[in-house]
């Protein structure tokens, strides 16, 4: 997944990845909108910046592959 210059496209990609990771839109939205201590904010807020997008993408990847995050 590449970082686009358009934040709206990045958020759409993060939402899609979260749905793939958690298996449903409701579970993905719940995770994206809840405060996460490792990120210091809700993942959807963090993903608004380019560096935050990468961090949230990494977390979702770790969760997908059985990592505890």
pLDDT tens readout for residues 13-60: 999 999 999 999 999 999 999 999 999 999 999 999 999 999 999 999
Please tell me the predicted confidence (pLDDT) of residue 2.
52
Q: What's residue 20's pLDDT?
A: 96
Q: Which residues contact 50 (CB under 8 A, 6 or more apart)?
A: 3, 10
> What pLDDT score does 5 carry?
64
pLDDT for res 67: 60
Burial of 15 (0-12, 13-18, 19+ CB in 10 A): middle
pTM of the model: 0.84
């Amino acid at each position: 997944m590449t970082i686009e210059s358009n934040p709206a496209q990045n958020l759409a990609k993060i939402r899609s990845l979260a749905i793939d990771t958690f298996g449903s839109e409701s579970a993905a939205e719940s995770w994206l909108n809840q405060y996460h201590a490792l990120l210091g904010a809700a993942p959807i807020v963090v993903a608004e910046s380019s560096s935050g997008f990468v961090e949230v993408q990494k977390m979702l990847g770790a969760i997908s592959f059985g990592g505890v995050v």
